A and B are shown apart, each in its own frame.
Chain A
């Protein structure tokens, strides 16, 4: 008991010490330690194979679509203009996050691979940046943390989080 509280009790009367003791003796919930800050360590560890397969399939579809689109594209008028180099299409969840959809945070978590990346350096940087800027009070974010805790999975370590943050564009 600190000196300030001791003085208050002395001013109020000795019987108030029992009140403070009774408060102090009340039970409290058991704390289940978790790593903090719990930024998103691959809860896909048990589903890593599935995630990789899904990512590979998505990449294949995206590549085919890009090839078809490129083949069907008409040359610009004038013919001499350079066609801008095609940029790798960002994953849907990255775009969704950019548009402010908080559900995308959950999608980013879901698609993280067991090694902590998202399959490519570019996507890893994008998603790490997105998570770093995500509102930790968001529903999807909290669900992701809850999922990690329920599954007993390790979240990102502080060092990893820092590394990701420094990687962000």
Chain B
């Protein structure tokens, strides 16, 4: 079972019910559970949708999956007069390497996700929500299924919810079956429709044409779970917890070479340096920091000198990287960046769905070229070639997987070029662990 961690610098909103047995619906209710959705319903059928969307807008909440799109704005894009059914789709297909926050969220507070899904549904006028977890999270699906069944038993889901005539909302839960690509919203819809998880071209955006052709709001599980807290405390109060244009708190998963890895809830804008050195207890074994991948594997690396930056979407963008999914991966001085870059691209090569040629071919050639450099058979022009390939993948694919593979590659090659050149000259930095025994180019994967 994942260990729960805490630190005095945390600002607790989402973690409020963690470790308290809130998977049980009665315990959840005792801890203000389902009070937010009742508060929304109490606004009356006329005012309720606008009240929900306006509160979410005022909260400054931005998508926790990685894109950082303002949630309230996204909900407001759903056409009010749609003749087609509208849907809410909760993305719990957490797959970005370095990211395990939704894992803890489903484990500790599944009702918050359920209540958030209902709130999104009431906000956009939908009667059906889906909660989609990654296939590996079967034990978490069981927890969520049990929670959904308990909500039905209380009359919180189904027909005439909370005893309000004509107010219906259903939730369907399921998992995927192993595919990183399905975390991308349009591929997620394909998967939920029982197809291969390949992306759809945008526009139209899901808010207009989504699941089964109906307007669909798709949000990350953590984003959805924030909604009940926001409705209870008020949008502006939530916004105040964070930084400018970055409302609230978020769950950061700090992993890799730190003393106390774990999922911590920190205010948006919190210092990356403090997150590593104070919250997570500093570098493991007193070693020196070499680099940080700050928001999941797809985010460009920061060097040890670049960590005086605030953890919000805008400050991270200004620093040339991304806040991403909040997965902070810490690399100490022993890490071989060439090996780390190879392992990263090997993942994206494996996960590229093959739909767009720049991504399918680009990830494969970058992987093969980096493997050659790693094994000692590389040339200087291989490094230029890797950079050239990555630059030409950027912005040329249906979905962001191509960018997700290209961006970290560019970061590694540009910021640690010397290390790649050293490999070409037979000098291997760090203490790499992968050998040819480890199937460097993923042939058997």
Chains A and B belong together in one complex? no
Listed in ascending order, the chain B residues whose CB lies under 8 Å from chain A are none
Listed in ascending order, the chain A residues whose CB lies under 8 Å from chain B are none
